Amino acid sequence: MSATRVPMLSGRHVRLLSPGRALSSLSATRRGLPKEKMSENGMMSRAKVLTIDTMNPTVKKVEYAVRGPIVQRAVELERELNQGMKKPFEEVIKANIGDAHAMGQQPITFFRQVLALCSYPELLSDSTFPEDAKNNIYLTTGASDGIVTMLKLLVCGEGAGRTGVMISIPQYPLYSAALAELGAVQVNYYLNEDKCWSLDINELQRAVNEARLYCNPRALCIINPGNPTGQVQSRECIEDVIRFAAKERLFLMADEVYQDNVYAEGCQFHSFKKVLFEMGPEYSETVELASFHSTSKCGFRGGYMEIINLDNDVKAQLTKLLSVRLCPPVPGQALMDLVVNPPQPGEPSYQRFIKERTATLSALAEKAKLTEQVLNTVQGISCNPVQGAMYSFPRITIPEKAVKEATEKGQQPDMFYCMKMLEETGICLVPGSGFGQKDGTYHFRMTILPPTDKLKILLNKVKEFHQNFTKQYS
């Protein structure tokens, strides 16, 4: 037996653990292991090994506003509408994420045909389908997978020597979430909203100088075209960034997943790798660069990263790290191949491919312009041109009375604003505070993906809501 009962003078009995059990219990206590406790049925039960108090504290610091509480509430509202509950709107319009096909955008036929053939090779003999249906490049499960992998390699050190990673503000929350999870130091640099969210080298210099007082800045992340801000960086800007990275000995990470989505006149996408190599050996043979592209947005997960000037020993470690997770899904790999090798003139699928691609990009360009024009007619809303990507990030004026009420409720003012908009109009947006913004400014991110007729309804609802909100809290 592992325990015995011993009578005491009072007539009560005490349950004594055997020496082995007693030592085991003491050892468990010292090691912080779960303690046993008596359940209602008299059986011994253990407290859970993994609880909110014993889990990795860095995970609790992770935030991802794109699918945060507003989106959770939007799902609840959809369910309530389906159950017949009365609302001041007939549907929830989700303008929070860049899910093109969920918004009704038609997929490229050629891509889907090739995927079908990869999944079911017997279709190769089907007459429905047309005939055409390196060492530094790593295939990934979307660009996010590659970005997080590179950050894992970069993060090291303790205290003031801990790795700092420079990210733009506003930023895509993947970066802040990954840095929090890895225990790295987030070093913010601010984009210039007054100059269409441009990147200023003086601001980069300020950020790195201040960061060196408390961490070791080792990497600089650039999102181009921007998410959530929709800007397209000029070639001159990219050259300046490369020179800055060389001078400050920073590893460059170029997030270029929206490179095909460029709409504004006079704007052109320039890849960091291309510019780097055109700047000559002083930079092309020394500056360390990882550039990322994907075909996800937001369906099949496929992407790649290209590594330039990476130390050979580190490259071996990167290969090992990616190999542990095995290969990305085959459909994603197939789609990525189609992105870099699309149908060419003279091939059977070319005419249909180019027609669909042109129609998709033309529609997005029109919706980008429409979004900017309508929002800028509203007093208290200011929207920069949507030069690229799939989002607008307008600045909003929130009355002081509303700011006070939000503070009393423990909410960020733009979270308060977006939640009220959802409840009153069914429009689901993402508050700017989820992406980072300068103190005292407020924004929201809105996708430009809905069909034009629905986008017009959405924009008019935003306009009416802002006017009513301002009147209510003035």
Check if the beta carbon of residue 446 is closer than 8 Å to that of residue 95: yes
Higher pLDDT, 325 or 91: 91
Structure tokens at 238: 């990219």
Residue 391 has pLDDT above 90, yes or no: yes
Check if the beta carbon of residue 153 is closer than 8 Å to that of residue 307: no
Average pLDDT on 91-118 reads 72
Instruction: Give the helix ranges, DSSP H, for 3-155.
Output: 19-31, 57-60, 69-82, 109-119, 143-154
Residue 299 has pLDDT above 60, yes or no: yes
pLDDT 10s digits, 126-140: 666 555 446 788 878
**For residue 99, what pLDDT is reported?**
67
Higher pLDDT, 316 or 63: 316
DSSP-derived secondary structure letter, 433: G
Average pLDDT on 318-339 reads 79
Structure tokens at 47: 């407290």
Residue 267 has pLDDT above 50, yes or no: yes
Residue 37 has pLDDT above 70, yes or no: no
Beta bridge partners of 185: 164
Cα angle, residue 364 at apex, residues 138 and 464 outer, rounded to 5°? 125
**Which amino acid is located at 207 in the chain?**
A
Conformational region of residue 410, where left means phi above 0, alpha means psi within -120 to 50, and beta covers everything else: left
d(Cα 228, Cα 435) in Å, to the nearest integer?
8
Residue 243 has pLDDT above 50, yes or no: yes
**Which amino acid is located at 305 in the chain?**
M
**For residue 321, what pLDDT is reported?**
80
User: Packing angle between helix 312-324 and helix 143-154, nearest 10 degrees?
Assistant: 130
The class level of CATH for 66-103+353-473 reads alpha beta
Show Cβ contacts of residue 349 under 8 Å, excluding neighbours closer than 6 positions.
Answer: 109, 110, 113, 130, 132, 133, 343
Of 251, 230, 257, the closest CA to residue 187 belongs to: 251
Most confident segment among 40-49, 124-133, 173-182: 173-182
d(Cα 219, Cα 217) in Å, to the nearest integer?
6
Average pLDDT on 270-290 reads 94
pLDDT band at 120 (very low <50, low <70, confident <90, very high): low
pLDDT band at 8 (very low <50, low <70, confident <90, very high): very low
For the chain, which residues make up each domain, given as ranges?
Answer: 66-103+353-473, 137-340
Residue 368 has pLDDT above 70, yes or no: yes
pLDDT band at 437 (very low <50, low <70, confident <90, very high): very high
Is the previous residue joined to 331 through a cis bond, with omega within 30 degrees of 0? no
Query: What topology does CATH give the domain 137-340?
Result: Aspartate Aminotransferase; domain 2 (3.40.640)
Of 222, 173, 164, 172, the closest CA to residue 198 belongs to: 222
User: Which of 45-59, 151-165, 179-193, 379-393 has the weakest average pLDDT?
Assistant: 45-59
Average pLDDT on 237-254 reads 96
User: Packing angle between helix 109-119 and helix 330-340, nearest 10 degrees?
Assistant: 140
DSSP-derived secondary structure letter, 388: B
d(Cα 409, Cα 19) in Å, to the nearest integer?
55
What average pLDDT does the chain have?
84
**For residue 253, what pLDDT is reported?**
95
CA distances from 430 to 213, 400, 421, 433, 442 (A): 33, 21, 11, 8, 11
User: Which of 116-120, 309-313, 325-329, 456-460 has the weakest average pLDDT?
Assistant: 116-120
d(Cα 343, Cα 349) in Å, to the nearest integer?
6
pLDDT band at 406 (very low <50, low <70, confident <90, very high): very high
d(Cα 444, Cα 272) in Å, to the nearest integer?
29
